[in-house]
C-alpha cells in the first residue's frame, strides 16, 4: 500500500538519513512524519521562523507496521513513551508505575519498520504524566488523547523503510499563520482538559493505583 506522508521541519529534507535524530523522541530515533500536510506545517514552524512541509511517497507493502491505535491499549503507547521520554518519576507512585508498565506492557517496537501512534507533544505528555502520578483515570487519559486533535505520527524506524522513501517536494509554512494555528490547537486541548476532562471523575474509573494493586495486564478487557 502506497502512502503520502509529510515531515514538518525548519528546512527542506530531500534525503532523510537513517540513524539520525533525537533518541528521546516518543518512539526513539526515527523519521517522524504525518499523513496530514497541515499538521506538518504546524510542526515545522516556530514562533519566529517559517517551516516546511516536506512531502514523500512510501510503498508500505512488505514492511512491518506497528499501529498502536488499532491493535493495542493506551498502556502500550504509554510504556513506549516511558522508555524514551524523560518523565518526572520523583514520587513513589510514578516510579512504581513506570517499573510495572515496562515489565508488563512492553512491546518489541524496535523490530518494526514503521510505527503509527499518538504524538506526545507538550499537551499529550502532560496528560500521560498526570496518569502515572494518579491524578486522572485510564478513561480520562483515553479521552484526553483525543482533545484538540493534536495528531498522529507515522514514524520510519528501519533502513528498509528509509530506502522506500521518495521525495516529492515541499510547501513553505508561514510562521505568522501556522504558529498561531499550532498554538491555538494546543491551548484548546489544554483548556478542554483542565476545564472538563480532568475534573470529570466517574464511579468505577480505573486509576494507576488499581492497575498496580490488582496487577492488571494489558489484555485485561477493562483496558479496551
Contact 189, 148 (CB under 8 A): yes
Q: Which of 39, 64, 85, 83 is nearest to 157 (CA)?
A: 64
- Torsion, Cα of 200, 203, 208, 214 (10° steps): -170
**β strands within the chain, DSSP E:** 2-9, 31-33, 51-59, 65-67, 114-118, 152-156, 166-173
Average pLDDT of the segment spanning 63-83: 92
Pull the grid cell for residue 44: 515545522
CB 42 within 8 A of CB 185: yes
State the average pLDDT over residues 85-107.
Answer: 92
150 has a pLDDT exceeding 70: no
pLDDT, position 114: 97
Q: Looking at residue 37, what is its pLDDT? A: 94
Quick: pLDDT tens for 25-36: 899 999 999 999
pTM as predicted: 0.90
pLDDT exceeding 90 applies to what percent of the chain?
A: 65
C-alpha span between 113 and 156 (Å, rounded): 6
Q: What pLDDT score was predicted for residue 137?
A: 92
C-alpha cell at 59: 510503498
2-9, strands of its sheet edge to edge? 2-9, 51-59, 166-173
C-alpha cell at 13: 529534507
What does the pLDDT read at residue 147?
Answer: 64
> Residue 204: exposed, middle, or buried by beta-carbon count in 10 A (0-12, 13-18, 19+)?
exposed
Amino acid at each position: 500500500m502506497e502512502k503520502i506522508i509529510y515531515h514538518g521541519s525548519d528546512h527542506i529534507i530531500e534525503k532523510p538519513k537513517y540513524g539520525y535524530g533525537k533518541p528521546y523522541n516518543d518512539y526513539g530515533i526515527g523519521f517522524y512524519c504525518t499523513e496530514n500536510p497541515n499538521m506538518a506545517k504546524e510542526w515545522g514552524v516556530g514562533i519566529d521562523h517559517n517551516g516546511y512541509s516536506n512531502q514523500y511517497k512510501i510503498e508500505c507493502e512488505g514492511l512491518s507496521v506497528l499501529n498502536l491505535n488499532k491493535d493495542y491499549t493506551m498502556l502500550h503507547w504509554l510504556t513506549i513513551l516511558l522508555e524514551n521520554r524523560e518523565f518526572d518519576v520523583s514520587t513513589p507512585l510514578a516510579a512504581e508505575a513506570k517499573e510495572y508498565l515496562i515489565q508488563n506492557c512492553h512491546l518489541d517496537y524496535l523490530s518494526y519498520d514503521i510505527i503509527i501512534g499518538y504524538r506526545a507533544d507538550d499537551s499529550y505528555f502532560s496528560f500521560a504524566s498526570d496518569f502515572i502520578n494518579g491524578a486522572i483515570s485510564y478513561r480520562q487519559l483515553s479521552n484526553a488523547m483525543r482533545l484538540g486533535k493534536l495528531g498522529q505520527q507515522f514514524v520510519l524506524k528501519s533502513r528498509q523503510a528509509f530506502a522506500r522513501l521518495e521525495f516529492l517536494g515541499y510547501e513553505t509554512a508561514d510562521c505568522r499563520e501556522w504558529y498561531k494555528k499550532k498554538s491555538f490547537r494546543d491551548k484548546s486541548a489544554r483548556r478542554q482538559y483542565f476545564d472538563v476532562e480532568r475534573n470529570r471523575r466517574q464511579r468505577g474509573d480505573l486509576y494507576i493505583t488499581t492497575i498496580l494493586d490488582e496487577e492488571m495486564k494489558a489484555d485485561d478487557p477493562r483496558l479496551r
